[in-house]
Every structure is written in C-alpha cells, then in structure tokens.
Amino acid sequence: MRETIAYADGRVTALLPVVRILEERERATVWKGMKPELLALRVAVDRQLAEALIGRARRLRLEPGEPAHGESLAALGRAVSLLTGDRLAPEDVADVAVGIGSVLSEEEAGGLRTRARKPTRRRRS
C-alpha cells in the first residue's frame, strides 16, 4: 500500500515540473504564433496529472487517520482546479469530473458501510 502511494506521489511530483515547463513554453509560443503541438502536449500532460491526482486521492482514502484524509482532499482539489478554463480537452473534462465524483462517492459509501457494520448491543434479560 505504501509503495503504491509512494509511486503515485513520485509520479505527481515528476509531472509538476513538466507542467510548469509547458506553461512557460506556452507563453513563449503565444508570441511565436502558438504551436498546436505544444498546446496538445500540455492538454495531455494535464490529463495525466488529473488522473494521477485522482489515483493518489483514492489511495490516500484507504489510509487511516485525518492527515491522509486531508491530503486526499488536497489532491482532489488540485484535480478540480484542472477542470477550470481550457486546461483539459472537452472530452477529458467529463472523464476527470466522473473520476473525482467516484472518489467522493466511494468515501460516502464507505462511511455508510462502516456505520452499518457497527455491532449493536443486546441486553440479556
């Protein structure tokens, strides 16, 4: 479990500098006439980043404790931020939104299952 989280963290950490570099290149490209290939690459990287953040949030939900829950919400928040503007292709926006919703619904369903499984005390007469 920890190895999977470490892998996801490493993937997100590796993608962040790439996104920053692509943003800088995008700004320079605007002055040069906007190269479509670079913009398409940024959209692809943002999609991968969103998927990695959703996966990280899903894995952190399995960890016990409040810090893991907070980190999971932070990862989901970053994934949600990718939905704004034109950072993702229109067809990717729906997929990312469904992924975020599924993580949130898994938590809600998990909470309901946890409450349903609590043993009840029976009084012996």
Residue 12 has pLDDT above 70, yes or no: yes
Please list the alpha-helical segments (H only) found in the chain: 2-32, 36-62, 66-81, 90-116
Q: Higher-confidence residue: 12 or 34?
A: 12
- Per-residue pLDDT reduced to its tens digit, 96-106: 999 999 999 98
Residue 50 has pLDDT above 60, yes or no: yes
Domain residue limits, the chain:
2-116
> pLDDT grade, residue 119 (50/70/90)?
very low
Q: How far apart are CA 36 and CA 123, in angstroms?
A: 72
8 A C-beta contact, residue 54 and residue 80: no
pLDDT at 51: 95
Name the average pLDDT for the chain: 81
